[in-house]
A and B are shown apart, each in its own frame.
Chain A
Amino acid sequence: MLSIDVEKRLGDFSLAARFEAAGGVTALFGASGAGKTTLVNMVAGLIAPDRGRIWLDDTVLFDSVSRIDVPAHRRRIGYVFQEGRLFPHLNVTANLDYGRRMCGLAHKPSEMARIVGLLDIGHLLDRRPGKLSGGERQRVAIGRALLMRPRLLLLDEPLASLDAARKREILPYLEKLRAEVPMVYVSHHAGELRRIATSVVLLDAGRVAATGGIEVLDAATAELMA
């Protein structure tokens, strides 16, 4: 369970959010500029809140009162970025293996084979990221994050840079992931979230506007339409 209670000021924008995410797929939903990415970056340890606390299960990741700020590389939180961010100088195999090596985990060929199979990326292993399509790149990025055996997987608009056909290509893989690891899934696209989210946190201008099940999406989109 991820529990967040943070405040952060970035220029004119201020973020003050508090919510809890149990297992399953928690959707962070909201218009662009609502603070979704800022929030997941805080969970990942890439930016520090001004005040507040972030807990994952029984460990404190950040606590401004007791001055705890676990660095990103020790959080064991997988992160799939919007643009993939594969390492251009490494081939797909080395990209996939990067997290495992950096976390000092034992090499398990069976685990590698399982994830490669799950994401259908076996035919790409020798290629460099420059030679991959957008959809292939995102699948490799997902595999790379999974293979570090994360305690939590953050996905920041993982489909946003893809066209409709590619989105349809990736969604089934994301659905399969639900059994693998708890996820926080950032998107401003309700349709996508309806397919994979189990709970929803609605963000609006740096504040949590609503939390609940999928029905939050319906209410929010109805409001947008109105």
Chain B
Amino acid sequence: MLDLSPDEWIAIRLSLKIAVVATAVALPFGIALAWLLARKNFWGKALLDGLVHMPLVLPPVVTGYLLLISFGRRGPIGAFLADHFGIVFSFRWTGAALSCGVMGFPLLVRPIRLAIEAIDRKLEDAAATLGADRLWVFLTVTLPLAMPGLIAGMVLCFAKALGEFGATITFVSNIPGETQTISAAIYTFTQIPGGDAAAGRLVLVAIAISLAALVVAEWLARRAGTRFHGE
């Protein structure tokens, strides 16, 4: 029904790959930071909290530019990672995943943090008296109880990563097959005469993917919820 051209398919697959990788890589950092912000008091906590939320309030172009000058080939972090680990971000899909992950990060951290804050710490005490050390308490009590927040955070991060445009195009440009995501492709098609049909098709695809992500998230959250209340 949707007659997608090979180029459009490439953009869709690339978008999905970037969004999945961005969410998956951001997740462990997101959980660690959410736990830190929910449970620990330390010097500079407010600053760290603000820093995490920066991508939400900064113009995406600014975030993209900051990524470019720090993670680009000549940027201090980018040069270090390229020289020592062979990880290159600039003008690669990995860079797109990085910028999408950074943009989605605040959306990932917030629900997880709220979920961890809502957990009854007395349950963690009970687990400790039953012989669980702190890591096991976290893995067997804290994390499973925070699952609805984890799911919500991952969906928001995935959706943000899928639609991210400004930071990504600033950081890694708009290269078909490498960094041209659905959003960038739609933008490109709207700039060329006769591109409306292609742009329209991709718009429908973007709507479909986003809706599917929401439905899956709702289903997962409901399953995680009912697990606490019986059967």
Contacts and interface: CB of A to CB of B under 8 A. Distances in A.
Interface of A: 44-46, 71-79, 81, 83, 85, 87-89, 98-99, 102-104, 127-128, 130-131, 144-145, 148
B129 interface: yes
Nearest to A85: B126
A174 B157 CA distance: 51
B125 interface: yes
A147 B88 CA distance: 53
Given A46-B125, A85-B122, A85-B123, A98 B130 contact: yes
B87 to A, nearest CB: 37
B10 interface: no
27 contacts: A45-B128, A46-B125, A46-B129, A73-B130, A76-B131, A78-B129, A79-B126, A83-B122, A85-B123, A85-B125, A85-B126, A87-B123, A87-B126, A87-B140, A87-B141, A88-B145, A88-B229, A89-B147, A89-B227, A89-B228, A102-B132, A104-B131, A128-B227, A128-B231, A130-B228, A131-B229, A131-B230
A112 to B, nearest CB: 15
Given A89-B145, A103-B131, 6 more contacts: A44-B129, A72-B129, A85-B123, A89-B228, A102-B136, A128-B231
Interface string B114-146: 000000101101111111110011001100110
A77 B229 contact: no
B231 A99 contact: no
B127 A128 contact: no
Contacts of B147: 89
Interface residues of B, number: 24
B126 to A, nearest CB: 4
B231 A77 contact: no
Contacts of B123: 85, 87-88
Contacts of A88: 123, 145, 228-229
Contacts of B140: 87, 98, 102
